[in-house]
Structure 1
Amino acid sequence: MPRFAANLSLMYNELPFLDRFAAAARDGFTAVEYLFPYAFDAHELAARLRGNGLQQVLFNAPPGGSTLADMAGAWDKGARGTAALPGRQSEFMAGVQAALRYAEVLDCPRIHLLSGIVPPGVERESLKDLCVENLRWAGAEAARAGREVLIEPINLRDMPRYFLNRQDHAHELLDAVQMPSVKVQMDLYHCQIVEGDVATKLRQYLPTGRVAHLQIAGVPERHEPDRGELNYPYLFDLIDALGYSGWIGCEYRPAAGTSQGLGWRDRALAA
C-alpha cells in the first residue's frame, strides 16, 4: 500500500505555513515534506510535527546563500542550487551543514540537494566532475549524521537549464559517486515531461534500491494525480508490486482546496 506524504509547500497553501501541519494531520496524513525550513526555527517545526503526530520525511538543502537569512530567501531570488556550480563549493558546503543541523532536530532521514542552473555558455557535461566531488563530500557528511542525500532530475520546462533532468543521468552520477548515502529522488511528474515511459523507468530503477523517495503530480498542470495524462492507479499498483516501501511525496498544486481534492488518495488507499 502506498505511503503518502503531504508536501506543505504546495498543499494547504490557503493557510499560513505553520498551520498546514495540523491541516495535513486532520486529513489523515502521517508524514510531510516541504521545500525549505530555513525561514523557521527548527525547534518550532519539530514541535508542530510532534503536536500533530507527523513524521518529517524530506526537505531540500538551501538553494544558495552562506548565512541562514540568505538561505531562507535564496529561492525567491532565483537560486536553484549549487551542487554543480563552479566557484560555489563553500556555499554548497555551508548549505549541506545547515540542512543536516535541521535534519537532526526534525529527525528527518533525507535531504534533497539541488544541482543548480547551468551558466550561459557552459556545457552541462563539463560540470559533472564538480558535481560528483560535491556529492561525495555531502554523502560522507550525511553518513556521519545518519542521513541520506538525494538528487532529483527536474524537467527543463519548469526549470530551464537545470543541471539534472534525466533518470539515467542521475544514476550515472551515482555510479561515479559510489556512496550508499547518496540516492535518487524520482518525481514521476518530471519524469513524464522529460522522458515518458514512466512504468518502464520504475521497473528499471526501483529494484536497484537507489531510489529513496518518490513524488507525484498530475501532468501537465501539476494538479492532483487523478487529473491529467498519467494513469496513477496503474502506477501505484506497479510501485507496490516492485516492493517499494518508501514515501511518496504529494508535490502538486491543488486545483481547488487541498482537502476537497484528496479523493484520489482515498481511492488509492482503499484499493
Structure 2
Amino acid sequence: MPRFAANLSMLYNEHPFLDRFAAAAADGFDAVEYLFPYAHPAAEIAQRLQAHGLTQALFNAPPGDWDAGERGIACLAGREAEFDAGITQALAYAQTLGCSRLHVMAGLLPAGATRDDVRPVYVANLQRAALRAAAVGVAIQIEPINLRDMPGYFLNRQDQAHALVEEIGAPNVQVQFDLYHAQVMEGDLSMKLRQYLPTGRVGHIQIAGVPQRHEPDTGELNYPALFALLDELGWDGFVGCEYKPRRGAVAGGTSDGLGWLRAWRERQG
C-alpha cells in the first residue's frame, strides 16, 4: 500500500502553516512535504514533526525570487554562487528535519535561450549539489513540470529527466515523478511507471487529479489502478499528495476531500 505524504503548501490551507502538521496527522498521514520551509526556524518545524509522529518526506531548495516569478535558478548562468548558498541552507534544514530528499527546481529558460544553451550550467550545478548532498545522506530530486502550469520551465518530460540523471552521473540524483505533470505533458502513465520505476532512478512520486489538480478521485486518471500498479512494482517510497482541495481553504476543506484516501485504506483492509 502506498505511503502518502500530505503536501502542506497545498493541503490544510485553512490552518496556519505550523498547525497543518497536527491536521495532517489527525487525518492519518504519516509523512508531510511542502515547497519551502525557510520562513520558519528548522528547529520549530522539527518539533512539530516529532510531536505528531511525522516523517519529512521532501521539500524544495530555495528557488530564487519566487514572488517575482522565478521558479528555480539551477539552469541560470551567473547565479552559481546564489545556487550554492541555497543548497547550503537547504541541506542544513534537511539535517535538522531528518529529511533525505531535496527537490532542486531547474528554473525558467532565459529569453532567447534554448535548453541546449543552459544544459551545461544546469548539469554542473546539480553535480556540485549532489556531491554536497551525498555527504549528509540526502538525495537530490529533479522534477519535470508541465508547460501549461509553468510556461518556459527547463525540465518537462520523463525521458528528459532520466537522460539528465544519467549525464549528471551521481547516484543520489533521482527523478521526482509527478503523475499530474506527466499526464498533462505525456500520458501513458502505467507504461511509464513500468519503464522507469525498475531503473531505481525514481526517488519520489506525487499525485493530483487531472486536469484541474484537485483530489485524485476526480478527473481523467484512474488512481486506484495506478496505486495498485505501484504496489505491483514494489514501490516503497512516499506518494506526495500535491493537489488543491476542491473546497479550498475553508474549515474542514482538506479533510472533507479525503474520501479517496479513506476508501483506498478500507479496500486494503
For structure 1, the 5+ residue unaligned runs are 65-73
Paired residue secondary structure (1:258)? helix
- The 1-side partners of 2:184 and 2:42 are apart by 34
In the TM superposition, residue 251 of structure 1 has moved relative to its aligned partner by 0.1
CA offsets, 1:216-236, max 9 Å, x none? Answer: 000000000001000101100
In the TM superposition, residue 79 of structure 1 has moved relative to its aligned partner by 1.6
Show the 5 A alignment for 1:109-258: 109-256=100-247, 257-258=253-254
CA offsets, 1:162-212, max 9 Å, x none? Answer: 000000000010110111111010000000000011111101100001101
- The 1-side partners of 2:67 and 2:243 are apart by 19
Number of the residue aligned with 1:63: 63
- The 1-side partners of 2:136 and 2:111 are apart by 36
Is 1:81 paired with 2:108? Answer: no
Number of the residue aligned with 2:3: 3
- The 2-side partners of 1:47 and 1:175 are apart by 37
In the TM superposition, residue 268 of structure 1 has moved relative to its aligned partner by 1.9
In structure 2, give the amino acid aligned to 1:33: E
Is contact 1:80–1:115 with CA below 8 Å preserved after alignment?
yes
Is 1:262 paired with 2:253? Answer: no
**TM-score of the superposition, structure 2-length normalised?**
0.96
How many residues align? The count is 262
For structure 2, the 5+ residue unaligned runs are 248-252
- The 2-side partners of 1:259 and 1:86 are apart by 43
In structure 1, give the amino acid aligned to 2:160: H
Number of the residue aligned with 2:18: 18
Paired residue secondary structure (1:184)? strand
Paired residue secondary structure (1:94)? helix
In structure 2, give the amino acid aligned to 1:242: L
In structure 2, give the amino acid aligned to 1:224: E
- The 1-side partners of 2:85 and 2:235 are apart by 33
- The 1-side partners of 2:152 and 2:91 are apart by 27
Paired residue secondary structure (1:248)? strand
Number of the residue aligned with 1:69: none
- The 2-side partners of 1:77 and 1:10 are apart by 20
Is contact 1:236–1:268 with CA below 8 Å preserved after alignment?
no
In the TM superposition, residue 61 of structure 1 has moved relative to its aligned partner by 0.2
In structure 2, give the amino acid aligned to 1:21: F
In the TM superposition, residue 77 of structure 1 has moved relative to its aligned partner by 2.3
Number of the residue aligned with 1:91: 82
In the TM superposition, residue 267 of structure 1 has moved relative to its aligned partner by 1.8
Is contact 1:156–1:162 with CA below 8 Å preserved after alignment?
yes
Q: Percent identity?
A: 61
Paired residue secondary structure (2:108)? coil
- The 1-side partners of 2:266 and 2:189 are apart by 23
Paired residue secondary structure (2:163)? helix
**TM-score of the superposition, structure 1-length normalised?**
0.95
In the TM superposition, residue 124 of structure 1 has moved relative to its aligned partner by 1.2
Is contact 1:22–1:52 with CA below 8 Å preserved after alignment?
yes
Is contact 1:2–1:269 with CA below 8 Å preserved after alignment?
no
Number of the residue aligned with 1:67: none
Is 1:54 paired with 2:82? Answer: no
In the TM superposition, residue 104 of structure 1 has moved relative to its aligned partner by 0.5
Runs of 4+ in 1 over 4 A off after TM superposition: none
Is contact 1:83–1:92 with CA below 8 Å preserved after alignment?
yes
Superposed CA RMSD in Å reads 0.7
In the TM superposition, residue 270 of structure 1 has moved relative to its aligned partner by 2.6
In structure 2, give the amino acid aligned to 1:240: D
